[in-house]
Structure 1
């Protein structure tokens, strides 16, 4: 140890991506004091992470063998704010496991994709880009899509047009279900019954009964079940969560969300209510997942309003609105519409000390009275490239290292329960409790 610099922001760069402690950990920004150290005998240590400091690289993490034991050194963790950083938390927990010899054996999780439509190539890219995961198979009933898969994902161990053939493939561990909404539950149940871990594209399914069937089957078979709520990794959402967590707008008491406009929704399957579930199930599932993660309280009552007024050439509703009352008194209002000639912002979040507003741009408008004087400013940001790969890093960390699953099926079930309650409410003309 040489000295330490004052509290400031800096970037920790991972230089060894193969070690147990740092595998799948991206470079990350952290706010902390920086402890300066000098490695006296570099040949006896394995450097894991570093940061640039005054024209040189300062070690941030290293490991070494020491007699019959092991030593893991982390230079971060000297300020409480650093301990809240999820990447630092991951390094710390893994360092303890490695130092005590409790690390889990690392292997590959063999993955298959069921359905090679519009989102499948993205899933293929995120899987192949994640250390510890390997894409080995694709299944689609369309021979044309299988040919497309062979072009996009060459050299896989199997290309199938029958799910039963893929499920008996030797070594297959996990199946990603990338199909229209009404097929999520029946196909996921087939995969779970075969003892496979399953990821389902959002939305989880269409009904709560379907959600319960999948959750129960996963428990019975002792396999993982998760839903691709990838937009938890969106930069704007993460900034909004950080602003709220830091108390910049005080205690949140109301949220409004909107997506839509005025125009025909098109003739794809997403406009077919029997297949899609309805207007709320697509983007609405993302918004509800966001809202439920911001307001950590049980849902008390749901009111829905669905209208069919203009676009009779498709079966989805033209307009859907979901109102939520939480047990802690917070309210939320989600609108998804294809007949809203006048729009409202994507986000409007009201707190006891200010507000947050965002509208599909690269900036977030903040008004805050949290520090005794009005502050009115905009937070500029850039979306992190390939940010949704973070979902798959967590899947690998969960399956290979026993780390906590971020998107749990029970959370995705609540999204479906809110939508189903909103539809029931709209039919009854009154608010209803959550199932």
Structure 2
């Protein structure tokens, strides 16, 4: 059976999905739907039939799966409509604005016996997959801290993302990705606590900066940070273990793993004069003690999401993005908002 896709919302993400999904065997783009005439014309120009009204779109018998790329606040309403129409559902992230909404969407899918998943495509990012490989294979020993940071100097947020009532802001845009990557990588490790600081720096109504600390019972503290107005960027990833340190500077995966040729406790304990004054602990390392090596190779593609979905509707695989995982991400987001408002860590 082919995935016969109807795209509900033909803005930037709708067009991105139309281009990428059709690259996968057994995925057909049947139709789109958008309230804006210019978007419908753009869809038709790409050879994709387009509808103005949702009910007409959902009545198309050729569509067996609906992809939701509408603004965040519409996800629940449109998912329930699609479920009642008997369509499988792929929802753009965040699946919902809170756990309660997601539970209603999940129940609608269950009641109507349709498949429901969420497009968390950042699980297939190459930079993330490198970090996950290093973590799972203990390539830098026992990890004790992970920093996942995303900085830009662009400042302003655009379009409906500017407005709280539409589900705008960076927590709902990129926060959901960074949290999902963290929980997915940590696997069975138990999340102990969440502490967050969420701010609006340039954009008045919605958040454009956040810092989240997530402590796990495996001894790892994960530090997530996003800022739309940070003018000198820090590395995308910094991961430290007791046998090495990984640094990835950007999505281009430029970086390395740093190691030491000797255990530091075997080095002579002598005081050095530095620009910071006399110091023993922070004296420069002797030449040749620290060295770098290339990052491990990984193979990953965003289209693997659709390849998995094809197998799921044909009963050959399980969903890669499971709703209980999505629910946990939303619960962490809710905890982050609560922590920022109360200035207290939220215990899990």
Deviation of 1:328 after TM superposition, in Å, equals 2.9
TM-score (norm 1): 0.68
Provide the alpha-carbon RMSD of the alignment.
2.5
Q: 2:292: which partner in 1?
A: 376
Aligned-partner SS, 2:293: strand
Is the counterpart of residue 166 in structure 1 residue 57 in structure 2? yes
Residue range with higher mean Cα deviation, 269-278 or 193-202: 269-278
Q: How does 1:272-351 map to 2 (within 5 A)?
A: 272-296=163-187, 297-308=189-200, 310-311=201-202, 314-351=204-241
Tell me which residue corresponds to 1:223. 114
Distance (whole Å) between structure 1 residues aligned to residue 134 and residue 240 of structure 2: 12
Shift of 1:375: 5.3
Higher RCO (CA < 8 A, seq sep 6+): 2
**Secondary structure in 2 aligned to 1:147?**
helix
What residue ranges of structure 1 are gaps of 5+ in the alignment? 1-106
Is this contact kept in 1: 2:162–2:168, CA < 8 A? Answer: no
Q: Superposed, which structure 2 residues align to 1:66-81 within 5 Å?
A: none
| Native 8 Å contact 1:201 1:229 kept in 2 | yes
Alpha-carbon distance in structure 2 between the residues aligned to 1:192 and 1:298: 33
Alignment size in residue pairs: 321
Aligned to 1:119: 13
Residues 350 and 400 of structure 1: CA distance in aligned 2, closer, same or farther (over 3 Å): same
Q: Greater strand share, 1 or 2?
A: 1
In the other structure, the counterpart of 2:267 is none
The C-alpha deviation readout for 1:158-189, integer Å capped at 9, x for no partner, is 42111111112213210000111222222112
Q: Tell me which residue corresponds to 1:352.
A: 242
Asked if 1:137 is matched to 2:31, the reply is: yes
Which SS does the other structure have where 1:195 is aligned?
A: coil
Measured after TM superposition, the shift of residue 369 of structure 1 is 6.3
Q: CA shift at 1:273, angstroms? A: 2.5
Uncovered stretches (5+) of structure 2, i.e. residues with no partner: 264-288
Task: Give me the TM-score of the superposition, normalised by structure 2.
Answer: 0.84
Moved more, 257-266 or 415-424: 257-266
SS at match of 2:308: helix
Q: What are the Cα deviations for residues 355-412 of structure 1, in whole angstroms up to 9, with x where unaligned?
A: 211111332321246998965223387997xx21111111101111431211112212
Q: Partner residue of 2:284?
A: none
Task: Mark the structure with the bigger radius of gyration.
Answer: 1
- Residues 283 and 400 (structure 1 numbering): CA distance in 2 closer, same or farther, change over 3 Å? same
Give the one of 323, 337, 341 matched to 1:409: 323
- Pair 166,235 (structure 1): closer, same or farther in 2 beyond 3 Å: same
2 CA distance for matches of 1:382 and 1:143?
A: 42
> Which runs of 4 or more aligned residues in structure 1 lie more than 4 Å from their structure 2 counterparts after TM superposition?
368-375, 380-384
Tell me the residue number matched to 1:395. 309
Corresponding position: 1:179 with 2:70: yes
Structure 1 SS opposite 2:118: strand
| Residue number among 42, 49, 68 corresponding to 1:148 in the alignment | 42
